[in-house]
Amino acid sequence: MKHPEIVVLFSSYRCNSRCVMCSAWIKQGSAPELSLKQIEKVFSDTLFGKNIKIINLTGGEPTLREDMVDVVRVLAAQCPNLRRIDIPTNGINTQQVLDKIERTLAVLLPTPVKLSVTVSVDGVGDVHERIRGVKDIFPGIRKTIEGLKELSCIYPFLSVSLNTTITKFNVQDLENLRAFSRTAGVGINFTLAALSEIGVESIAKQGSFEIEVESGRLITTFIQEITEQKEMEKSYGEFILHWLKTGERAAPCNFRKGRVILMEPDGNVYACGNFKEFLVGNVLKETFGVMWKRRRSVPGNAGDKCRTCNSNCYMGEI
């Protein structure tokens, strides 16, 4: 039986953004969080930690967790085959983000683990601020990107990029974002907003951000262009284009293969990145090994949910 190699670890639902396509920030304050000690115990399970190669330390805004750097220290210590930690950030609180990332780099310096930091940018200037629901944040985000770039010159194992979630609110701004990334001197990834019941719980906002048919044509042209220009990986570009054309998924999913799992701040583990029916168990109630054996009884075919899912599910990573 395969064991997961990638963990999407929602360390907290605390967030200082109010994104239109997200409900994570609504849960903050009411969502319990695994403590540092509990995280250490979970990853020290040899059936778990030793197989992990990539951890996406996400949220919420992961840098709002006071002990984020210690969480990274624990993960690097308990996962001997870890090769990369991904940290997505909204980049709003420049000083806090740069401080936490710099201290994280110091922790990872003596290890072979690389760090990938992705700053969410959904539009340029006020387009971004409207989508993120917070005014006057764009200049600070620009400074965060500049600071991260400077850190990447000092620490070559740090990679910095931007990520745009495509919704109906930024279809007209995609070319501006592309130009912004060039000016900023960092790469940019474009992903389609996915419907999810877990994590960001975008499904609660369904209908408010989904791409309209007319916009689908604009996005298709844009994705074709950036794929041709090799700014997007060909297989992912084709995946998006197929989904835009048919509404159906045309690629395997690493969650379904059992290679990726999602863990919520309260310790719930899911064998799917989007839907609660694939709950495997809770790491506070049983060991990972016991839980993972039972996963066999989780339906392997999620029917329509998988057929129409547009999540990239770490395509090309394993």
Which residues of this protein are in contact with ligand SF4, per CB under 6 A?
15, 17-19, 22, 24-25, 59-61, 90, 120, 200, 253, 255-256, 272-275, 302, 305-306, 309, 311, 313
- Name the minimum Å distance from CB 156 to ligand SF4: 27
- Name the minimum Å distance from CB 21 to ligand SF4: 7
Given a contact cutoff of 8 angstroms between Cβ atoms, the answer to whether 133 and 20 are in contact is yes
Q: Which residues contact 235 (CB under 8 A, 6 or more apart)?
A: 251, 315, 316
Q: Which is nearer to ligand SF4, 50 or 257 (CB)?
A: 257
- Name the minimum Å distance from CB 124 to ligand SF4: 17
- Name the minimum Å distance from CB 179 to ligand SF4: 23
Q: Which is nearer to ligand SF4, 183 or 301 (CB)?
A: 301
Cα–Cα dist 86/107, whole Å: 15
Paired tokens of 307: 């057929």
Paired tokens of 303: 């029917």
- Name the minimum Å distance from CB 278 to ligand SF4: 7
Q: Which is nearer to ligand SF4, 61 or 86 (CB)?
A: 61
What's the number of CA atoms in the CB half-sphere (13 Å) around residue 295?
Answer: 27
Q: Which is nearer to ligand SF4, 77 or 315 (CB)?
A: 315
Q: Is the dihedral of CA 154, 155, 159, 163 positive or negative?
A: negative
- Name the minimum Å distance from CB 25 to ligand SF4: 4
Determine the length of the chain. 318
H helix runs in 209-272, sequence order? 213-228, 234-246
Paired tokens of 166: 């495509």
E strand or H helix that includes residue 291: helix 288-294
Q: Which is nearer to ligand SF4, 85 or 108 (CB)?
A: 85
268-270 vs 279-282, strand pairing mode: antiparallel
Q: Which is nearer to ligand SF4, 214 or 304 (CB)?
A: 304
- Name the minimum Å distance from CB 312 to ligand SF4: 9
Given a contact cutoff of 8 angstroms between Cβ atoms, the answer to whether 302 and 278 are in contact is yes
Q: Which is nearer to ligand SF4, 78 or 274 (CB)?
A: 274
